[in-house]
């Protein structure tokens, strides 16, 4: 189960509006973060990313080349590229959000940019076993089902790690008696008494701009679905975090200490290891990892891979089907052909 073309169009339209609001300061969505607040949030996210990377470094995780999924403005990839001198890719369905990386790299004094790719994560445009490190934040809940998305992540990951954070899992102690009249990110919602807001979250639904644009906000992913989707990995460590610092660790099954989180719901993060006999490409050319999002080739072990792309002056061409994928503003468009024109008709 994947997003429909209407879901993807909603993503593109909504993120384009956000890119204008958060770069120019134009107030288009009054119930969403405004420019100054958004800049502060990005700075905090960059600091959090720096702490996360330092912890993974201490554990001996190979972080380069990296792949960030749902990178949007690229604030986290900018930290890896500039503070840790890592190389990699930042991908997103939104060309407009990826383009804002030019603005935010200057704002936060991060001159080195990752390679930016506008693509659909359902069809990752990379060859199999390409990256020792793949990561994302607030990304996986935009899919109607976890398993197809995580299967693609598993395919492009080599012997290495997939890290994710700030993803939701289902709250079982909940009844939806009414829909609140203030949106999730509005100033009125943020000014609510925190105890009342916590209580109200058990009995009501909070609307948000994303769903009004047709974006999937799958906040009811069960822990059973998380465990099923991650079962491909040889080992994983999960952290469940609920309100008021209620947290617990979970590996391959629920245990008694997970019960409070199971009832309260919250956010899940994880570090997942792929123990593969196949090493990632040793080529120093990052573009060697690119593959056609439309084509498949069978590997000797009976699995599918994506054929490599040939780099041209201002485009990339599939070595199998011959289709040419454009580059605009240093952003490579690697969307499947049946999505490229509907989502970006002027490209």
Which domains can be identified in the chain, with CATH numbers? 5-171+219-283+323-343 (3.40.50.150), 172-218 (no CATH)
Tens digit of pLDDT for each residue in 250-267? Answer: 988 889 999 999 999 999
Look-up of token digits 């009004």 = 212
Which residue in 248, 255, 253 sits closest to 269, CA to CA?
248
Query: What pLDDT was estimated at residue 301?
Result: 80
The per-residue pLDDT for 246 is: 95
Phi, psi of 168 (to 5 degrees): -85, 155
Q: What is the distance, to the nearest Å, from the Cα of residue 27 to the centroid of all Cα atoms in its chain?
A: 26
* Weakly modelled stretches of the chain, pLDDT under 50: none
Q: For residue 232, what pLDDT is reported? A: 93
pTM of the full structure: 0.95
Pairing outcome for strands 157-169 and 235-242: unpaired
Cα separation, 135 vs 53, whole angstroms: 11
- Which pLDDT belongs to residue 200? 85
pLDDT at 132: 95
SS3 call for 320: coil
**Residue 168: per-residue pLDDT:** 97
């Amino acid at each position: 189960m994947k997003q429909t073309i209407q879901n993807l169009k909603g993503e593109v339209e909504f993120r384009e509006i956000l890119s204008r609001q958060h770069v120019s300061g134009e107030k288009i969505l009054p119930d969403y973060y405004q420019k100054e607040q958004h800049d502060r949030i990005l700075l905090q996210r960059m600091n959090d990313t720096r702490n996360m990377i330092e912890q993974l470094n201490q554990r001996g995780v190979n972080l380069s080349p990296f792949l960030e999924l749902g990178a949007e403005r690229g604030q986290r990839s900018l930290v890896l590229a500039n503070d840790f001198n890592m190389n990699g890719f930042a991908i997103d369905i939104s060309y407009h959000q990826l383009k804002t990386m030019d603005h935010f790299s200057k704002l936060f004094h991060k001159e080195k940019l990752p390679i930016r790719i506008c693509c659909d994560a359902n069809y990752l445009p990379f060859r199999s076993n390409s990256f020792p490190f793949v990561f994302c934040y607030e990304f996986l809940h935009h899919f109607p089902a976890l398993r197809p998305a995580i299967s693609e992540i598993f395919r492009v990951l080599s012997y290495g790690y997939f890290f994710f954070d700030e993803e939701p899992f289902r709250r079982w102690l909940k009844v939806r008696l009414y829909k609140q009249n203030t949106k999730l990110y509005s100033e009125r919602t943020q000014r609510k008494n925190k105890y009342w807001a916590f209580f109200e979250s058990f009995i009501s639904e909070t609307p948000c701009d994303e769903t009004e644009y047709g974006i999937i906000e799958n906040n009811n992913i069960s822990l059973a679905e998380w465990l099923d989707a991650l079962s491909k990995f040889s080992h994983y460590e999960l952290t469940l975090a609920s309100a008021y610092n209620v947290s617990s660790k979970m590996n391959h099954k629920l245990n008694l200490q997970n019960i409070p989180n199971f009832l309260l719901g919250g956010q899940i993060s994880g570090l997942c290891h792929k123990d593969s006999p196949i090493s990632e490409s040793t080529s120093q050319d990052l573009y060697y990892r690119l593959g056609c999002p439309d084509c498949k080739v069978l590997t000797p072990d009976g699995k599918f891979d994506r054929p490599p792309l040939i780099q041209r002056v201002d485009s990339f061409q599939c070595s199998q089907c011959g289709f040419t994928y454009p580059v605009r503003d240093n952003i490579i468009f690697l969307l499947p052909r049946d999505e490229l024109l509907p989502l970006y008709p002027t490209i």
